[in-house]
Structures are given as structure tokens and as C-alpha cells.
Amino acid sequence: MFKSTKRFVGFSCAHRQPSHDGHCQYLHGYSRSFYFIFGADEVDPRTHFVMDFSGLKGVKAWLDNMFDHTCLINADDPELELFKQLDERGIIQLRVLPNVSMEATAKYVVDHVQTMLDEVTGGRVFIHACECRENDKNSGWYYPRGGADDISQATSEIGDS
Ligand SMILES: [Zn+2]
């Protein structure tokens, strides 16, 4: 198996976790980033790349639309209607996710981006793992095929918890 990686950085967005007992229940913001580990059994015979990064323009555009200067709210947030009103009044750009946690966001992103990769690569390239990071200290990972390995340790242990 071959692997390659790509990082997308600088997605300024806000979120809140309403069921959290601590300060995460309050609306707060981060610069999120996304780190992908792509895999393929065979490289592209023309370029010998796993993933031709010039084929990721659609992924970047989708990430921008979802996470650049947006407000991420859980689908079951009890104040969802209030956030919809703020969106309608042009105060926020609302994006409703199943859950805004880094782990859940990583899964949400993988589910969408894998579909785009399938179209671009004819199903050759798969996502081995995706890390969603909110700051230097905190991130969550999703491994769509299971089998988490030590790559996450090697690449993302920037700070303590
Ligand atoms: Zn928080």
C-alpha cells in the first residue's frame, strides 16, 4: 500500500457544545485545520502519485464553504432556531453538523471528501485517516477503515492536553 498526506489550514470558525458542563457550552472560535492520510494499493501510472493534489480543488472549495468564517452548530442544539435566525439576518453563516466535536467533524469530512475522491480517482484512492484540529493542543481523528496506527502519534503530538 502507498500513502501520501495533505494538510489544509486556516479555517476560522465558531462552535459550541451545548451539553458540555464546562466552558465548551459557550460559543467560541478556533482556526481549524484538516490533515488527510490518503492510501492506494497502486499509484497513478502516469504521475506515480497516490493523489494528485491538483485534483483536490473541489475538496478545498467544499472545506472553505463549510469551515471558513462559519458558525458550526449541532443538529440537536436546543437553540438551533436562534442560530437559524442569526443566519437569516446575515450575522453568521450557519452550518449544521451531526456534532461539532473534532472527532465527529473528522468523520463528517471523511464521508464527504471520500465521495469527491471517488469521482476524481475512479475509486483508486481512499482516506486512511483524517485529523480535525482546533488549535495547537487539541484534535480528533477518524479512521474510516479502522486500524488506527501510530501515524497520529508521529505527526500530531504538538502539545499536552
Ligand atoms: Zn471547546
Q: What is the mean pLDDT of residues 107-111?
A: 98
Q: How far is the CA of 100 from the centre of ligand 1 (A)?
A: 10
Is residue 59 a part of any domain in this protein?
Answer: yes
Q: Per 3-state DSSP, what percentage of the chain is helix, strand, and coil (rounded to 5)?
A: 35, 30, 35
User: Per the domain annotation, does 82 fall within a domain?
Assistant: no
Ligand 1 centroid to residue 85 C-alpha, Å: 23
Whole-number Å distance, alpha carbon 24 to ligand 1 midpoint, is: 4
Q: How confident is the model over 74-88, as a mean pLDDT?
A: 98
Q: Ligand 1 centre from 6 Cα, in Å?
A: 25
Domain-located, residue 91: no
Residue 90 counted as domain residue: no
Segment 23-46 shows an average pLDDT of: 97
State residue 99's pLDDT score.
98
In the reported structure, the alpha carbon of residue 40 is separated from the centroid of ligand 1 by a whole-number distance in angstroms of: 35
Tell me the mean pLDDT in the region 54-68.
Answer: 97
38 CA to middle of ligand 1, Å? 28
- Model pLDDT, residue 26: 97
**Domain membership flag for residue 30:** yes
Q: How remote is the CA of residue 19 from the centroid of ligand 1, in Å?
A: 11
In this structure, what C-alpha cell is assigned to residue 100? 461539532
pLDDT averaged over every residue in the chain: 93
Mean pLDDT for 74-83 is 98
Residue 72 has pLDDT above 50, yes or no: yes
Ligand 1 centroid to Cα of residue 130, in Å, is: 20
Taking phi over 0 as left and psi of -120 to 50 as alpha, with beta for the rest, 146 belongs to left
Statement: residue 28 has pLDDT above 50: yes
Phi (first) and psi of residue 14, to 5 degrees: -115, 155
Q: With bands split at pLDDT 50, 70 and 90, how would you rate the model's confidence at 147?
A: confident
Across the range 105-118, mean pLDDT stands at 98
Is the confidence at residue 122, as pLDDT, over 70?
yes
Ion ligand 1, residue ranges at CB < 5 A: 24
Maximal C-alpha separation, the chain: 53
Residue range of the domain that includes 63: 2-71+100-151
- Residue 1: pLDDT band with limits 50, 70, 90: very high
- Average pLDDT over every residue of 4-12: 98
Query: What do you get for the CA distance between the two ends of the chain, in Å?
Result: 33
Reported confidence tier of residue 151, pLDDT bands at 50, 70, 90? low
- What is the count of structural domains for the chain? 1
Q: What is the CATH number of the domain that holds 63?
A: 3.30.479.10
Residue 31 in any domain: the answer is: yes
Whether residue 128 is contained in a domain is answered as yes
81 domain residue, yes or no:
no
